[in-house]
Structures are given as structure tokens and as C-alpha cells.
Structure 1
Amino acid sequence: MVKVLLILLVIYSFSYGKIITGNWSDPVTPIMADYVKRLIHKAETENAEAVILTIDTPGGLDTAMRDVIKTFMGTDIPVIVYVYPPGARAASAGAIITISADIAAMAPSTNIGSASPVQMGGRDIEETMKKKVINDMVAFVKGIAKDKGRNEEVIVKMVTESLNLTAEEAQKQKVIDVIAENINDLINKVDGKKIEKNGKEIVLNLKDREIKKVEKSLKEKILTILTNPTVAYLLLMIGFYGIFFELYNPGSLIPGILGTISLLLALYSLNIISINWLGLLLILAGILFFILEVVTPTFGALAISGVIAILFGSIILIDPDSPYGDIPLQIIIPVVLFSALFFISIAYLGLKAQRRKTPTGSEGMIGMIGKAETDIDPEGKVFVSGELWNAYSDEPIKKGEKVKVISMEGLQLKVERVKDGSKI
């Protein structure tokens, strides 16, 4: 009997699912789509009971919004979107993301709506194109509303008339399911609810479950900053001016370095290149900086820039959809430091070799010590570097005395007596 109880306890412990929670309080961008994918993947990997995503967003990109909704619909894990904290909003794309969840919830003093499509920057769309975009969006939200059992008419007005609702109005008009004060209140209110998910009926069993929060990764935090339109514009201008000043004054280096990195970041911010291309190009730029440090030593300026470029490029290189996850910092940092040390060492040895006296030719002869093979007064012969040379001196030098080469004119050396006066 005891063994049976132990077995049942083990089985129960393995089936005891978590609640995975996440938070997004920024515009709807590809970074949000990647974050949601990571959130859902973690929930699926850990066999979670549900995912709760709290949001506070002014809206964002249509493509990113659709990616988020596809992720919601593609998983068997129940997804709850919660507009939180009080004072938060789910506007535009955020409103459609909220209603696409299996459970849509809001905190008091929040609002939802204003989902009319606009161009990036908030400008209105040209009339003919606007009709096409709105009709497409209306069909899209109608499908979501019907699938989730929400009020189609009101949700369509969010798109066509920029309708905006308080939490109480949204619940009354059957746009959302629950109003909750906080996460614990939300869990208590949705516990036991039945939902339809991919053809299956699921009863939410969330009370007393472990809550596990998934924070933004370093990569997601950095890229969220980059996707800000103001940041994108500033990066673009810094990039142009930096490269211009480098071309105008070749060799100044710092403007060129800043310009190159800023321009690459701006290209990503403006959705011209993907995150993977940005990572690859930054790594290549970092390697180029290292090579330039070897060729034209800059006392570390290019090397430091190379470290920054490769470090950042390595962090963002791998797609979040990769089954292997991101490259860990424990690998990235040693590789970057080794690369920096390797190239700086080469640059140092190269600089040292440039400063070393040339062992052959006229420069290599200067300062060498030899001996007088004959008396020199003012001319004679000396033996230096294993060879016999014609030489002259401004002072008499006797045969056998040490001499030092002070200059070379053609094949004749100018020498002086070594002051200790000893003979060889």
C-alpha cells in the first residue's frame, strides 16, 4: 500500500503543472513576437497548465501582431492575456492580441480598443489603400471573435470607428471575459472555466499552481530599445555622418567605427535587415576592426570596437525559434576575449617588429661595433658584421681598436673609436 501511494505521489508531482507568466509593456514588434514564442515554448516544454501574458501596449506592427496570434493559436496550452496594471492599455494591435487569447482579462482602470490601421509614425493611410487594409483587418478580427465567442459587432467597431472601451464596458459588451485586481485574483476567477482549444475542451485548473515568470532576455531588452522609431532615426543619422567624416578625413577611425555600427543597427531598426543578418554583419565588422588594428595599430581603439561589435553580434545571432536556444554568455565572452587578445598580440608584435632596427642595409649598420683592421687616419679598413669595409674617421684610430659605425655613405662607413680604448 505504501509503495502504491509513493508511486501515485511521484506521478502526481510530475503532472503538477506550472503557470508560466510573462510581461510585455512595449509596442508590438517582432521582438514581442519572439518573446511570446519563447514564452509558449517554455510552457510546452514544462507541460504548463496555462500561460498568462500581462500587457500594456500602444499597439504596433500588423505583421508582429499576426505572428503573436498565430503562436497563441498554434499551441495546446491555454493562453490568458491580461491588460495590467491599472492604468495600462491594450490599444490597436494590442487590443486584437487581447481578444485572440483563450481568456481575455483586464484590470480595473484599463482600456482596450482604437484598432484602426495607420501607417508607421501614426500617419493616416491613403483612402483606397485604407479601405483594403480595413476590410482585411475586419475579416481577421471577425474570425477571431467568432472563434473565441466574443462580440463581433463591437470588435469590428474598434477597427472601423476606433472604438475604445473601459474594462467594465469591455466585459459588459462581451469583448473580454474577466476583470481582475491582480494575478492571484485572476487565477481565482478563471479557475474551473472551460475553454475550447484546437478541437478539445480544457478545464482550467490553476489554483495553488507554481507561478514561474519569464523575464525578457538581455537580447530582447536591447532590441526593444533599437526598434523605437526615434532611436532608429538617430542611429541612421549617426551612421551617415560617421561614414561621411571618415571618408572626408581618412584615418580618423572613430567616426568610421561609430558610423558603421550605427548604420547596421539602423538597418535592423527600420526592418531592412533581419536580426540574423544584423548579428552576422556585426561579427564580420568586429573581425574587420581587429584586422585593421593589426594593419594600422590604433592603441586599442579598433580592438575595443571589435570586441563590442562581436559581443553584440553574437548575443543576437541565433534566431529565437532555434531548438538549441541562444548562444550562452559563458561561451560568447571567452571567445570574444580570446579573439581580442589574439589580434592585439599580433598587432603588438607587428608594432614591435616595425620599431626594431633593421638587421641589414645602411640602417642596420648604424651603431654596430667592429675593429680597425688597419690604422685609420683619416681612412682605412674595419671589420664589421663579418665583413671588411672601407672606413674613415674624424680622429686617428689605431689598428686593433674597437670602432662604432655612426653613418654609412655608399659602401664606406664613418666610424669612431669606442671610448674604453680596448683592442680586439
Structure 2
Amino acid sequence: MKKLIFLFFVLTSFSYGEVVVANWNDPVSPVMADYIKRVVEKAEKENAKLVVIRLDTPGGLESAMRDVVKTIMNTHIPVAVYVAPAGARAASAGAIITISADIAVMAPSTNIGSASPVQMTGREMDETMKRKIVNDMVAFVRSIAKEKGRNPEVVEKMITQSLNLSAEEALKKGVIDFIASDINQLIEKVSGKEIKKKNAVIKIDLKKDEKIVYVEKDFREKLLTILANPTLAYLLLMIGFYGIFFELYNPGSVIPGVIGAISILLALYALNAIDVNWLGVLLIMLGILFFILELITPTFGALAVSGVIALLIGSIILIDPHSPYGDIPLKVIVPVVLFSSAFFLAVAYLGLKAQTRKTATGKEGMIGKRGTAETDIDPKGKVFVEGELWDAYSDEPIKKGDEVEIVAVEGLRLKVRKAQV
């Protein structure tokens, strides 16, 4: 009986046979590459039968697009890219991702194409550089189209002539495999289809009531999606340059420098110059730098607040929550950030307090101290202060034994007055 229970457990643990669905309706970015990789890894772990990427994108970064294509082509699980819902598009980099899928599907009233490479600024490229990029892209998509059994001539025109096709035209010209109104119809049409992948023929065996698992973007991916928008990347880069320039032109302005530094880091990530882990590390270092600068040049909390923000964001995005080791929970991040903030603010307060405190040594340290008149002082006499006998004078008569207060130190002579009660 125990053996049967164990066998049932093993079968249910490793034979999920589900369809895993990813939704992406933003520009193609490093975040998309990470998200699709996470979804595919989940599907591999759960032994899923099919991964569906429901896509609606205006395009995006070429480097991120290539990462997505690599993920699709290097998994042993069949991947379908589904341009949906009605009104959606797979433009530019999105078109190439769709073509690279094992099964390319579009919903009615959608379109695909316009994959000509452009600069992030939207300006025309130098003809020589454009020709090199176009030729490289054409070779890339033609090789993919041939491997996936799609029409390479039509796909090439998407790059060289910005060809755009409706779902019906794409199906007719051999760019996609079929049209489906929804996920259920997609599953129905793809069931029984055989695909060639990684030197093997895979038959997709799906049922009408197949379990569908939707994998949505987590908080970290949603945050990074906003930051990774190519248009926003360009704007952040320019804001960063202007902020740093203004800070150098007007040292001590603080806010422009802070905004500039953070903007440049975010732009470097959005441009795929640094990965998200390095972005987290650099933001944490920048936050600590802001705290230190707050101690050196107090800005009434402006740098401290900037440090808190940089430290918090950096800590949240530092570790991929879906890594084998897990993420850093907020219940750890928040106390650490609060402790760091409190520590640096306390040090700043103590430093400021020390700067405003009266000098405790030397001539300045004597002023305000009290002693006793050893003789009558009218106007001269002697006083006893902290175990020492001093010559003193006063503008008012003081009798022997009266308590006196030091007003000034003039060489080796003290100016005193009667101590106030």
C-alpha cells in the first residue's frame, strides 16, 4: 500500500502536463527577457506540455529580442507565440520573436511586421551602419524562418521594406501557423501537431480541458518594466547628463546631481549596459554615498531622503526572487534600510551638535565657569577656579567668598562678575 501511495505521489509530482501562459504587452526589454526565461524555467520544472507567450508589443531592444529568441529556441518544451487579443500587434522585435516560435499564432484583427531597425532616438542611421545592421538582421531572421518552416522572403521584407501584415495575410503568406480567437481555441488547434526541436520530433498532445497556468509579472518585474522602456531610457540618459552638468556648474545644488546620478544608472540598465543585479549594487552604493555626503555637507535631509530611496530600490531589485536561493524579503530590507537611515541621521545629528557645542578647553572653555573670590575684588583681586588661583578684575565690587562667573579671559587675567542665581 505504501509503495502505491509513493508511486502516485511521484506521478502527480512530475507529470503536470499543463499549459503555461505568459502575458507580455509592453516593449521588448531586458525585463521581458528575464520574465520569459522565468516562465520557461517554470514550465521545464513542472514538465509542462506547452508554453504560450501572449504578445502585444510595439517592438524594443534588439539585444533583449535576441535573448528571448535564445530562450525559446533552447528549451525542449514547445513554445507558441500568440499575438493577442484583437487589436494587438507584434511589431519590430516582436515580429521576430513571433517568427522564432515553434508555433506562431495570431488572433483576428491583429498585425505583424515593420521590423526595420531604427535608433532609439528615432533618427535615421548612417547608410553604411544601417546596411550592416539590416544585413545582419536579415541573415538572422532568414535562418530562423527556414528552421521554423516560415516564408523567408516575406519575413525579409518585414526588415528591408517594413512590411506589415494582418493575421489573415500572415497566414496566407506562410508567416504564422494558424489564427485562434482565444487560448482555448489555440490549444484545440495545436493539439496533435508535431514540431521539430533540438534534433527531435515532438508531438503536442493536449486535451480540451487541459490545465492552464497563467504566470503574471511580479512586483519587481513590473517596476523594472517601467524603467526599461526604450523611450524612457533615452529620456533618463539625457536627464542624467543635464543633472550632472548642472551640479558641476553650480556645486552644492545637490538635487540636480542626485537626480542625474540615479537617472544615469536607470538609463544604463534600460539600455542593457548593466544587468539588474549590478543596478541593485550600484543603487545601494549610491545610497550610502548620499548618506556620507549628508554628513559632510548637511542639506537639511535632501541627500538623506535620496539615500533612503536609492537604498530601498537597490535592495528590492538586487536579487532575483526566482533564483534558486530565493530573494531578500521585505521584512529584512525595510528594517535594514530604516536602521541605516537612522544610523547616518544620528551620526549627522551628533556631528552637528558637536560643531555647535561650546569649546570645553582653552580660553573659550573657561568662559561661563564659576569660582570663588579669594580676596575682595574692587576692581582687582584674586579668584579660585577649578583648583587654580587667578588674577581677576571686575566692573562691580565683589567681596571675598562670593561666587563669581568668568566673563572673559585676557592673557593670565580673568574678567569676572557676581554669579547669577
- TM above 0.5, yes or no, is yes
1:116 aligns with 2:113: no
2:303 aligned residue: 302
Aligned residues: 419
Q: CA deviation at 1:42?
A: 2.0
1:174 aligned residue: 174
Q: CA deviation at 1:271?
A: 4.5
1:35-54 superposed matches below 5 A: 35-54=35-54
Question: Which amino acid is 1:375 matched to?
Answer: D
Q: Is the Cα contact below 8 Å between 1:37 and 1:321 reproduced in 2?
A: no
Gaps of 5+ in 2: none
Question: Which amino acid is 1:82 matched to?
Answer: Y
Q: Is the Cα contact below 8 Å between 1:38 and 1:320 reproduced in 2?
A: no
Q: Measure the CA separation in 2 of the matches of 1:419 and 1:232.
A: 68
Which stretch shows the higher mean deviation, 62-71 or 253-262?
253-262
2:86 aligned residue: 86
1:173-322 superposed matches below 5 A: 173-207=173-207, 208-318=209-319
Which stretch shows the higher mean deviation, 343-352 or 82-91?
343-352
Q: Measure the CA separation in 2 of the matches of 1:106 and 1:17.
A: 24
Q: Is the Cα contact below 8 Å between 1:376 and 1:396 reproduced in 2?
A: yes
Question: Which amino acid is 1:42 matched to?
Answer: K
TM-score, normalization: structure 1?
0.89
TM-score, normalization: structure 2?
0.90
1:68 aligns with 2:71: no
- Cα distance change on mapping 1:264 and 1:106 into 2, 3 Å: same
- Cα distance change on mapping 1:359 and 1:122 into 2, 3 Å: closer
Q: Is the Cα contact below 8 Å between 1:293 and 1:302 reproduced in 2?
A: yes
- Cα distance change on mapping 1:325 and 1:209 into 2, 3 Å: farther
Q: Measure the CA separation in 2 of the matches of 1:18 and 1:411.
A: 94
Q: Measure the CA separation in 1 of the matches of 2:113 and 2:60.
A: 13
Q: Measure the CA separation in 2 of the matches of 1:157 and 1:235.
A: 33
1:383-398 superposed matches below 5 A: 383-398=384-399
Q: Measure the CA separation in 1 of the matches of 2:322 and 2:348.
A: 39
Q: Is the Cα contact below 8 Å between 2:29 and 2:270 reproduced in 1?
A: no
Q: CA deviation at 1:124?
A: 4.2
Q: Measure the CA separation in 2 of the matches of 1:145 and 1:171.
A: 14
Deviation readout 1:136-184 (Å, 9 max, x if unpaired): 3333222222222223333233233332221122223332123222222
Q: CA deviation at 1:389?
A: 1.7
Gaps of 5+ in 1: none
Question: Which amino acid is 2:415 matched to?
Answer: K
Q: CA deviation at 1:101?
A: 0.9
Q: CA deviation at 1:371?
A: 1.0
Q: Measure the CA separation in 2 of the matches of 1:268 and 1:254.
A: 22
Q: Measure the CA separation in 1 of the matches of 2:160 and 2:267.
A: 33
- Cα distance change on mapping 1:265 and 1:117 into 2, 3 Å: closer
Q: CA deviation at 1:344?
A: 1.2
Q: Is the Cα contact below 8 Å between 2:373 and 2:383 reproduced in 1?
A: yes
Q: Measure the CA separation in 2 of the matches of 1:172 and 1:49.
A: 28
Which stretch shows the higher mean deviation, 284-293 or 405-414?
405-414
Q: Measure the CA separation in 1 of the matches of 2:264 and 2:57.
A: 28
1:341-420 superposed matches below 5 A: 341-420=342-421
Q: CA deviation at 1:110?
A: 0.4
- Where 1:202 maps in the other structure, the secondary structure is strand
Deviation readout 1:27-56 (Å, 9 max, x if unpaired): 222222222112212222233222111111
